[in-house]
Chain A
Amino acid sequence: MQRTLSKKTVRIIPGFSITLGFTLTYISIIVLIPLFCLFIYSTELSLANWIKLITGKQFLIALSLSLTTALTSALLNAFIGLLFAWVIVRYRFLGRKIIDTCIDMPFALPTAVAGIALTAIYAKNGPIGQLFSIKIAYTPIGITLALLFVTLPFVVRTLQPVIEDLPHELEEAAKILGATPRQTFIYVILPAILPAWLTGFTLAFARGIGEYGSVVFIAGNIPFKTEILPLLIVSKLDQYAYEAASAIGICMLIIAFILLFIMNLIQRRLNRAIVKVR
């Protein structure tokens, strides 16, 4: 009697079958069916053409450019984002709320606007661009910069709640037990924030690979040099090569899937390790 009662009380939202049904239908329409169609489109490309496409010089260079710029920006943002989140959560200062709001701006701003603005500022004759002796816009550095802008919110927003939940007592206890600040960070704070940190990093990285709108303006789009993978898709579409475009899309999807999968594995390991330590 008590068992059935407790079973019932577990479900806070009523109607398991309805909610699950809705979830499945929704995910099918929004995610699975479009992806499935992408696969069907790409099967129209013969195997020989597939191989030719993904071993082509243009594809490989675009792929490595997309991966390296996305990785660089995600890594940089991991540290900058940690700093931002720490400052916003731990300190009270004038304008904190404004900075907090600003972080979400890259989400709201159309990426093309961001791209045009960044290009204007970092071009050779732009207000910041002319301060540097090296070229920033129209180089991989410019691409990384655009990605830094677009993916900033991911790390900050995933870390913020975790840092907020981190009890001060932990740090105090560490201090009382004689830990140096460095030790406190590495052995007390880092394990607690690491899973969220990795999530933010992964999201930023995945977004960076797929970002198109802001990057095309600052990239310069020179074939074999500053041509990113999504641009290759657009150029295939403009040649009405739907199959080739979806084939590249599939490649990006597979790469993203593998990356997310690895990240999830690492995270699970970490979580287990943390639980063990505790």
Chain B
Amino acid sequence: MAQILIKKWPRRLISLSGSWLDKALLLKIGIIFSAIIYINNAWSIELLNVSYDPTRELYKSYNQAFIKHWQNQTGEALTIKNSHGGSGKQARSVIDGLQADVVTLALAGDIDALNRYQPLIDQNWQSKLPNNSTPYTSTIVFLVRKGNPKQIKDWDDLVKPGIEVITPNPKTSGGARWNFLAAFAYAKSHYVSDEKALQFVTEIYRHAPILDTGARGATISFVQRELGDVLLAWENEAYLALNEQGGDELTIITPSVSILAQPPVAIVDKVVDAKGTRKQAQAYLDYLYSDEAQQIIAKNYYRPTNPVILAQYAEQFPKLRLVTIDEYFGGWQDVQKKYFDDGAIFDAIFEQINE
């Protein structure tokens, strides 16, 4: 109802002003404005890619590559802008009217959410690009202190006495939801029964002294504040932290089982149709699957979906058993409802911990 009200106001204002402003004048202003917009458009076409936090470096290099590629192919000069922030927050900005041509978010659930109030995006968006619209994947790994003093090798080691685990709050962080599911995936593959798996995950959260609101916050707590013994992190974030620290303060540990994190990409249909940028936006996402882009992806520590290029970086991406969301959890919408909604499993875990 609020949306309807807000939408109606501007129209009413225009009709009011028409009565005391010369209509011809309004027309002139309109023509000048549209001329400016037209000239601007002819000058250069601008795309806005609304993404989440850890892709900042990735898209910085990818945008350069794509602009060059597009210029060579069509002679058209493109400007690409990027916006980064928490995945859920970014989705909300698009819902509230941020004119994103493409969204490249942390999880499919956040892209599904775009249609919450009005259809912004085709319902079958995920089948429109290869690999469920995921040009790159990642997983959850452990980051431990230099030399691994607490001998943390796999998930079981996290629940040993005296170990402190740093992970953000799944309610406010997309990355934290992946951490939760990674732990669950391990527990389920190990203990089989749901009940025992839940006990294991509860035990892990018992070892969490704090829950930051986002993945970056958790990384700061672990690296700068030197809190805890192990950080559950995106593989690419872990490598970035390693690079910033010079590599001799921290060590990456890859567990035996983890979750296959699939951050998908999609065109925001309503925006590209209004702006007339569908062609460019489509090419922008398609090119993510090209060899050049897949190389850039690997260099930024995301796992490329092209198996040949993934093999070239085998040293950087150790093999482990990767469980998909669909395999154990049955899609994002179910996951959100079953685990993270109010009164769902995550809340129950903390109710139990505080008893």
Contact = CB atoms under 8 A, between A and B. Distances in A.
Given A235-B169, A239-B171, A244-B342, A116 B220 contact: yes
A238 B1 contact: no
A58 interface: yes
Given A123-B225, A125-B225, A40 B89 contact: no
A222 B172 contact: no
Contacts of A238: 86, 88-89, 171-173
A237 B171 contact: no
B340 A239 contact: yes
Contacts of A234: 172, 213
Contacts of A123: 225, 227
Interface in A119-178: 119-120, 123-126, 138
B354 interface: yes
Interface in B1-58: 1-2, 5-6
A241 B88 CA distance: 12
Contacts of B91: 240
Contacts of B288: none
Nearest to A218: B210
A167 to B, nearest CB: 51
A217 interface: yes
A58 B347 contact: yes
B307 to A, nearest CB: 34
Nearest to A59: B342
Given A231-B172, A238-B172, A239-B342, A57 B213 contact: no
Contacts of B336: 239
**Which one of B2, B86, B113, B336 has the highest number of Cβ atoms from chain A below 10 Å of its Cβ?**
B2
**Which one of B91, B341, B354 has the highest number of Cβ atoms from chain A below 10 Å of its Cβ?**
B354
Nearest to A212: B213
Contacts of B226: 125
B225 A120 contact: yes
A207 interface: no
A119 B91 CA distance: 29
Contacts of B347: 58, 223
A224 B351 contact: yes
A43 B1 CA distance: 10
23 contacts: A44-B1, A116-B220, A119-B225, A120-B225, A123-B225, A123-B227, A125-B225, A126-B225, A216-B213, A220-B211, A222-B210, A222-B350, A223-B169, A224-B354, A226-B210, A231-B172, A234-B172, A236-B342, A237-B88, A238-B89, A239-B88, A240-B113, A244-B342
Given A216-B212, A236-B342, A239-B171, 18 more contacts: A37-B6, A40-B5, A57-B351, A120-B225, A124-B227, A126-B225, A220-B211, A221-B211, A221-B212, A221-B213, A222-B208, A223-B211, A223-B350, A231-B172, A234-B172, A240-B88, A240-B116, A241-B342
